[in-house]
């Protein structure tokens, strides 16, 4: 189905949204109100600027809704913004009746407050005389919003409010103080809301057909103010399947513990990797649809939660080399660090089932294997990562079904993504590495592994004190132009063959000098590969650099080789 069939978009003002009898409901288990003073102040500054610029407009980002009827909408994304603007409106309405000295002016301001309330907040029920609402928040916040804020009643003890309800109350008070500081007349204050806020704040309104359409939007949308994540949407669906209050409370407790373990933003990946253990080709864009197809009853919800809880701590540990999981398996930590350094995640389903089905020693061997596979495939050969998920899924499924009972059998399942020695060596011979930002740590890791192999002295890239020396400097002087054409120097500076480890003090001493001036410092170095430069070379040219990188590549072949190849 095309995007055009999934959603409708339009630009609307806050008045367009909240006027004409429309009502907005936040799904019961969507995220609680969470904006704090930083967000309130950003919004207030935008409003003040709009007030001073008559023709200006300000976009508040995307608002995603699902129509329950022609006048009632579920707020799939945007509740933080709508709730905050409603609190601002309530602050204006609360202040207005007290402005003015003469009775006539006080009467006009009371009339203004009533008109603004009907337009932006809701109307008074003729039977109960309570104010109805155009906005209904989630399960945690709605009671406090309706019973206190909409009624302009102060809570008896604000210190006993939940965190999110306390934020709602503080937000209302914060805007009330900002409005008081402006010292506006009743007419000016009413105009600030009815004109500046209502007509100059614009939203991109996205109306979706159903939750699946909403999930598709979240996988592609990147707009300012996007609070809801695909995790929230998945949560809303799962909670909608539970009808018994005690089960809901149990699910809420367990869900929160799960989020504390795997983190809200990482949950879609966690869920997808969990499913990839047994099912192939679970794409992010189809994740929500798959859950809807497979989880249809309350028992399905709790079965899924049981399975996720069993793997949650391991998922967290795979993303943290210092996790307590590795205290009992310290030999696993180096490979966890490497996989995090390589930024490779596709092997996660295999590691889930290997942890469950293999003993500790064989799990560590599997970790080492996938680290080597990842270094060859992703880091050096830079091959298409799309092939990895299917290969790792097949291996994971084979372990689950007992077809692969140990690392050797697993390696055979991964043969298609294990880069052969010849290609790995050829790719290593021409590899360039960034030595700044995130790439610096990877370059240091590779140089430390090469040095450890050459010298027999273990070098840990995270604690080793050496710095990365560029033999042809990053900013070469004109003296280097004879050996390296200026137009091609960038092609050589970041080649692995042009890099070596050097003590920081010596590195500062040699600066951008030519090789002959650097050699005495190289000779003093404790790094064996750096010492060899002073012994083996008396000039530095493209040909010499290539020759050195070939030697390093031949060393790399046996450093990063699977034990089962």
For the chain of 565 residues, list the mean pLDDT of each consecutive stretch of 10: 53 86 86 92 92 85 84 88 95 93 89 92 70 87 94 91 95 96 93 93 83 59 46 80 87 91 90 92 80 91 96 96 93 97 96 96 97 98 93 95 95 96 98 93 97 96 95 93 93 96 92 91 96 94 97 97 94
Give the pLDDT score at 71.
Answer: 85
SS3 465: coil
Helix (H, G, I), strand (E, B) or coil at 524: helix
Of 133, 105, 115, nearest to 193 by C-alpha is: 115
pTM: 0.73
Strands (E), 381-498: 467-470
Residue showing tokens 């704090």: 36
Residue 44 has phi, psi (to 5 degrees) of -60, -40
DSSP state of 495: B
d(CA 72, CA 78): 15
- Length of the chain equals 565
The answer to whether 433 touches 494, Cβ cutoff 8 Å, is: yes
Q: Please, is 255 exposed, middle or buried when counting C-beta atoms within 10 Å of its C-beta (0-12, 13-18, 19+)?
A: middle
| Burial class of residue 92 (count of CB atoms within 10 Å of its CB; 0-12, 13-18, 19+) | buried
| Cβ-based burial of 478 (10 A; exposed 0-12, middle 13-18, buried ≥19) | exposed
pLDDT given for residue 126 in this prediction: 62
Per-residue pLDDT, 127: 64
Burial class (CB in 10 A: 0-12, 13-18, 19+), 534: middle
Asked whether the beta carbons of 388 and 417 are under 8 A apart, the reply is yes
* C-alpha distance across the termini of the chain, in Å: 45
pLDDT at 228: 47
Residue 64's closest CA among 231, 220, 203?
203
Compute the distance between CA of residue 365 and CA of residue 342 in angstroms, rounded to an integer: 18
How confident is the model at residue 438, as a pLDDT? 86
Rounded distance, CA 28 to CA 430, Å? 56
Task: Kindly state the DSSP code that residue 538 receives in the 8-state scheme.
Answer: S
CB distance 403 to 409 below 8 Å:
yes
What is the structure's pLDDT at 299?
95
Rounded CA-CA distance 149/216 in Å is: 35
């Amino acid at each position: 189905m095309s995007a055009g069939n999934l959603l409708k978009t339009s630009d609307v003002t806050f008045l367009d949204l909240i006027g004409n009898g429309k009502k907005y409901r936040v799904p019961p288990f969507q995220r609680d109100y969470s904006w704090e003073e930083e967000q309130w102040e950003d919004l207030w500054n935008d409003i003040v600027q709009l007030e001073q610029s008559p023709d200006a407009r300000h976009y508040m980002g995307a608002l995603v809704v699902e129509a329950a009827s022609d006048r009632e909408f579920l707020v799939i994304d945007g509740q933080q913004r709508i709730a905050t603007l409603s609190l601002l409106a309530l602050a204006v309405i609360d202040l207005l009746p007290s402005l003015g000295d003469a009775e006539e002016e006080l009467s006009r301001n009371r009339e203004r407050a009533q008109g603004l309330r009907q337009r932006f907040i809701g109307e008074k029920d003729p039977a109960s005389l309570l104010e109805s609402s155009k906005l209904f928040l989630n399960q945690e916040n709605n009671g406090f919003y309706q019973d206190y804020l909409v009624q302009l009643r102060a809570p008896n003890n604000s210190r006993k409010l939940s965190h999110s309800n306390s934020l709602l109350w503080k937000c209302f008070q914060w805007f009330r103080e900002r409005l008081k500081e402006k010292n506006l007349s009743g007419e000016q204050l009413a105009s600030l809301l009815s004109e500046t806020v209502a007509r100059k704040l614009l939203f991109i309104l996205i109306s979706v057909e159903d939750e699946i359409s909403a999930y598709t939007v979240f996988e592609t949308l990147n707009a300012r103010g996007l609070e809801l994540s695909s995790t929230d949407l998945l949560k809303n669906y799962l909670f909608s399947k539970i009808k018994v209050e005690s089960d809901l409370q149990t699910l809420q407790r367990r869900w929160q513990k799960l989020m504390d373990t795997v983190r809200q933003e990482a949950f879609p990946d966690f869920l997808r990797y969990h499913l990839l253990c047994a099912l192939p080709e679970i794409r992010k864009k189809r994740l929500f649809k798959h859950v809807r197809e497979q989880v249809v009853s309350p028992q399905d919800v709790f079965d899924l939660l049981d399975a996720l809880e069993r793997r949650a701590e391991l998922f967290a540990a795979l993303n943290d080399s210092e996790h307590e999981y590795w205290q009992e398996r310290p030999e696993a930590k180096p490979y966890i660090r490497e996989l995090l350094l390589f930024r490779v995640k596709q092997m996660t389903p295999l590691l889930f089932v290997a942890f469950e089905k293999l003993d500790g020693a064989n799990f560590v061997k599997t970790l080492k294997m996938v680290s080597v596979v990842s270094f060859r495939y992703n880091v050096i050969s830079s091959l298409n990562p799309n092939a990895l998920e299917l290969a790792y899924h097949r291996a994971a499924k084979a372990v689950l079904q007992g077809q692969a009972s140990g690392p050797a059998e697993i390696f055979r399942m991964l043969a298609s993504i294990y880069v052969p020695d010849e290609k790995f060596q050829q790719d290593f011979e021409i590899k360039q590495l960034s030595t700044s930002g995130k790439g610096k740590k990877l370059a240091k890791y590779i140089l430390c592994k090469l040095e450890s192999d050459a010298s027999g002295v273990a070098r840990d890239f995270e604690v080793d004190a050496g710095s990365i020396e560029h033999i042809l400097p990053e900013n070469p002087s004109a003296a280097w132009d004879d050996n390296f054409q200026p137009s091609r120097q960038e092609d050589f500076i970041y080649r692995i063959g042009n890099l070596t480890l050097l003590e920081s003090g010596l590195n500062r001493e040699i600066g951008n000098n030519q090789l002959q001036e650097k050699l005495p410092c190289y000779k003093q170095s404790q790094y064996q590969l750096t010492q060899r430069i002073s012994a083996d070379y008396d000039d530095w040219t493209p040909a010499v650099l290539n020759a050195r990188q070939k030697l390093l590549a031949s060393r790399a072949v046996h450093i990063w080789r699977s034990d089962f190849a």
